[in-house]
Amino acid sequence: MNGPTRRALLGGALRLGATALLALAGCSKRERLAALPAGSTVLALGDSITFGTGATPESSWPSVLATSTGWRIVNAGVPGDTSGGALQRLPALLAEHRPALVIVSIGGNDFLRRLPEADTRGHLERIVAAARDAGAQVLLVGVPRPTLAGALTGALSDHPLYEDVADALRTPLVGGLWAKVLGDERLKSDPIHANAEGYRVFAETLHARLRELGLAP
């Protein structure tokens, strides 16, 4: 191996190492979640893709996740809801159900209606704060940003504001799940909703991520 090749390989290894360290540092800055036993109450706060539009109620991702974890998951998905609407509904939901965990998957309708991104970010931050003040742990789920390229190719990616909120509030974030499901025509019932198989894939992948976080059985 000649000198230039050796130096190139070493440089690449150093860059990969630096990237890994940065990723670990980012994870360490976010709150660690405590494991929840079967029977725990979990609130799924969202819109139509949490409600389960495009499939039966039993096929919604909260129902599928409840079966696999043994948690009592309250499906608080409201079709057409925005982050602002979810924020308004949250206090009553917290008071009624007293969840140990709130899974927040909201914002898609904000993007579709082109509502101010600063407002969406602020609503998400207030949702996280309100849930924590009520004694619940919080998990944020990234939602794709609609783009022309995404519409043409199916290649979706989460809106970056979810990373911003997660970093600012040290909130665990599960990203890329809805982008994977809604970017696959086989997993959709219409352009913006999953079908039963899509919700199953989402729930199973989310369950795997929750296990990695040490949260789910």
**What pLDDT does residue 217 have?**
85
**What pLDDT does residue 22 have?**
36
Cα distance between residue 99 and residue 109, in whole Å: 25
Exposure string for 52-71, b = 16+ CB within 10 A, e = fewer: bbbbeeebbbbbbbbeebeb
- Domains of the chain, with CATH numbers? 31-212 (3.40.50.1110)
Cα distance between residue 94 and residue 134, in whole Å: 7
Structure tokens at 107: 């914002």
Cα distance between residue 157 and residue 168, in whole Å: 20
Residues of the chain whose pLDDT is less than 50? 1-28, 148-149, 152
**What pLDDT does residue 153 have?**
54
Quick count: other Cβ atoms within 10 Å of Cβ 130?
Answer: 17
**What pLDDT does residue 18 have?**
39
**How many residues are there in the chain?**
217
